[in-house]
């Protein structure tokens, strides 16, 4: 009689554990998160964690893969849209990341700091989700360079600039706020302004330079 479906999926025990783990792992990292904290945060008995996910590590890997997928999946679509210009793609990417990260600012530093030591091979996972090298965006860049529409720049450098300018301020948030003496609200305003500015800056960077002397 489908009594299971009465429970909303989001409030099922399994999902509650995942949500709690998601939150704590992102906040405190793998080693800093204790299974009892997850259980307590999810409002469940400790043994259930192992019942549903076998082990802390299995649960972690699951959540980690979801993070990486979520973090990268949007990019793939945007970069391979054959109906948008380079500039439009840049605006969309920056806009999406800023919006997402304003809601979940802990994700980048969590993923990147765990990725450093994690024995599990996430390379495969990323590789599958991201074929940036062969994306339509990269093709557009190369064409632009050939045409002289945009300045000669290595596509990897361009992508790095895009992501650096967008993501790094979230990672450096505590230092930024301290150094410049601003609060969280001012930081958000700051990032919303960057959402508009970064595409303009990138445009300047890739604009072809007419090299005549003075």
Partner DNA sequence: GCAAACTTTAATCACTTGTTTAAATCTTTT
Partner DNA sequence: AAAAGATTTAAACAAGTGATTAAAGTTTGC
Pick from 40, 157, 184, 208: which binds a copy of itself (CB under 8 A)?
157
Report the alpha-carbon distance of residue 79 to residue 162 in Å, rounded.
13
In the numeric block, which tokens belong to residue 136? 């339509």
Distance from C-alpha of 17 to C-alpha of 186, rounded to nearest angstrom: 34
Q: Which of 1, 83, 119, 133 binds a copy of itself (CB under 8 A)?
A: 133
**Among residues 45, 180, 192, 208, the one that binds a copy of itself under rule CB under 8 A:** 180
Composition of the chain by helix, strand, coil, percent to 5: 80, 0, 20
Of residues 45-104, those binding a copy of itself (CB under 8 A): none
The DSSP annotation for 22-51 comes to HHHHHHHHHHH--HHHHHHHHTS-HHHHHH
The answer to whether residues 78 and 89 touch, using CB atoms and an 8 Å cutoff, is yes
- From 47-55, 83-91, 142-150, 173-181, give the range in contact with a copy of itself by CB under 8 A: 173-181
User: Which residues are at the interface with a copy of itself (CB under 8 A)?
Assistant: 27-32, 106, 109-110, 112-113, 115-117, 122-123, 126-127, 130, 132-133, 154, 156-157, 160-161, 163-165, 167-169, 171-172, 174-176, 178-181, 190, 193-194, 197, 201, 204-205, 207
User: Which residues are at the interface with DNA (CB under 7 A)?
Assistant: 1-4, 6, 13, 33-36, 44-51, 54-57
């Amino acid at each position: 009689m489908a009594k299971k479906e009465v429970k909303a999926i989001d409030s099922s025990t399994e999902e509650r554990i995942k949500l709690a783990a998601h939150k704590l792992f992102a906040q405190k990292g793998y080693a800093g998160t204790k299974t009892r904290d997850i259980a307590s945060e999810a409002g469940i008995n400790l043994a259930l964690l192992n019942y549903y996910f076998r082990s802390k590590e299995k649960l972690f890997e699951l959540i980690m893969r979801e993070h990486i997928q979520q973090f990268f999946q949007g990019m793939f679509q945007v970069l391979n849209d054959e109906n948008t210009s380079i500039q439009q793609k840049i605006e969309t990417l920056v806009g999406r990341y800023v919006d997402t990260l304003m809601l979940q600012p802990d994700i980048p530093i969590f993923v990147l700091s765990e990725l450093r030591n994690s024995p599990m091979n996430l390379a495969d996972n990323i590789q599958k989700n991201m074929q940036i090298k062969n994306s339509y965006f990269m093709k557009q860049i190369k064409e632009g360079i050939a045409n002289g529409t945009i300045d000669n720049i290595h596509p990897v450098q361009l992508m790095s600039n895009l992501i650096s300018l967008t993501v790094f301020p979230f990672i450096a948030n505590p230092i930024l706020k301290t150094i410049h003496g601003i609060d969280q609200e001012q930081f958000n305003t700051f990032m919303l302004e960057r959402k508009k500015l970064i595409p303009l800056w990138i445009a300047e960077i890739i604009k072809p330079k007419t090299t005549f002397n003075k």
